[in-house]
Amino acid sequence: MKRLLGLGIIACFAFSQGTIDKVFTEWRGPNRTGVYNETGLLKEWPAMGPELLWYNDSIPVGYSSVAIAHNTVYLTGLIDSMDYLLAFDMKGNKKWKTAYGRGWDASFVDSRATPTIEDDRIYLSSGKGDVACVNAITGEINWKVNASEKFEGTFGKWGISESILLYKNMVYYTPCGEQTTMIALDKMTGETIWQSESLNDKPGYVSPLLINRNGKNQIVTVIEKNVLGVNPDNGSIEWKFDYGQYAGGKWKSNINTNTPLYKDGKLYVTNGYDHKSVMLNLNEDATGVELAYLDTILDIHHGGAVLLDGYIYGANWVNNRMGNWCCLEWETGTKMYETKWQTKGSIVSAEGMLYCYDEKGGNIALVKADPKEFKVISEFKVPYGKGPHWSHLVIKDGVMYVRHENALMAYSIKE
């Protein structure tokens, strides 16, 4: 009897220890590429669109994407002047909400940062530059730092839109300003580990990318005027590139929003507002870059791009900001196609298919990734929510999650 009791205690202990899943999820999926490692998905949808599993159209307003872990859907939303982290069960019912930082208060104030999740910890930035770590199970705040304030950071006209990057024991954030450009905080305590030199530049709206060049890790990000590579261990800025010189058209703006694409020593950096895109060659030891080519076709506003089998796919800014859907050859920048479909928007991919989300009308198209043509196989219109369709789609376990400001919808796209 004692032996059975002991085994029962051990089993209960093991179960309790196993309730915290080993997970990692972040902005735009694996390695921030926008390409989801899903299989067994529909290659064509019913005429009315895929099956709507559930929806919730009474969530706090936000532009952020969702993050899924622990059988929970997480997203951010604005309530009064505060950014909140919200947790929903897998049927869209709210479990809890936690105020974690000050929201942006000028224009387009909806929350914007997507949660980064590692095990039972969620990392977030707010519109006013507060950085927080929240317990993923309980919603309790582990630590919070008013990072932009502490490091004398600056803001663009739309505040902070940076989804937090993690590496080893560090959390990275880009306050910019006269004191520093990027900082690293201890992910368990929020204590400062390092702060980089200042480039006297303002932040962009970009979520940084961790790359590897010949075994060397480096953080790449885009701020208002510069693309830069930062040593993740000590904060040394190892190279910078003057991207601001390529602002064009009547806008003359350096409003950078997109996480760069990276593969085999090449970095593709793009921005809307008639801004030229650039392909950069990173040298062998990742200490410098040179311009490989300029691209005047695919100036992406904030919908991101995906790289598949040597081709870049995304939507550009042209036609009075309505945009076309484009494909470029990665190595040369050669235009493969430029096709009108609805308006510009965001793009993700899974299993060789493109999922295109039109920002004006809320149409979602399923398109085969083919450099020869942009051919819509299926499409449907999102029925709930209000305002622009700026949230990026998320695909997880055969479900496509669609955020439209105050509405969240879950569609089954599994075969």
pLDDT at position 331 over 60: yes
What pLDDT score was predicted for residue 19?
56
Which residue's entry shows tokens 């530059």? 129
What pLDDT score was predicted for residue 251?
62
pLDDT tens by residue, 105-150: 999 999 999 999 999 999 999 999 999 999 999 999 999 999 999 9
d(CA 69, CA 24): 8
49 confidence band (pLDDT: 50, 70, 90): very high
* CA distances, 141 to each of 67, 126, 187 (Å): 18, 14, 13
What is the average pLDDT across 2-10?
A: 38
pLDDT at position 4 over 70: no
pLDDT at position 10 over 80: no
Terminal CA-CA length for the chain: 49
* Domain spans in the chain, listed from the N-terminal domain onward: 21-412
Q: Which CATH number fits domain 21-412: 2.60.120.10, 2.150.10.10, 2.130.10.10, 3.40.50.150?
A: 2.130.10.10
d(CA 385, CA 80): 19
CA torsion, points 59, 64, 65, 67, in degrees to nearest 10? -80
What pLDDT score was predicted for residue 248?
73
How confident is the prediction for the chain on average, in pLDDT? 94
318 confidence band (pLDDT: 50, 70, 90): confident
pLDDT tens by residue, 181-212: 999 999 999 999 999 999 999 999 999 999 99
Claim: this prediction has a pTM higher than 0.85: yes
What is the average pLDDT across 150-166?
A: 96
* CA distances, 324 to each of 36, 108, 252 (Å): 23, 24, 21
What six digits make up the tokens of 45? Answer: 């949808």
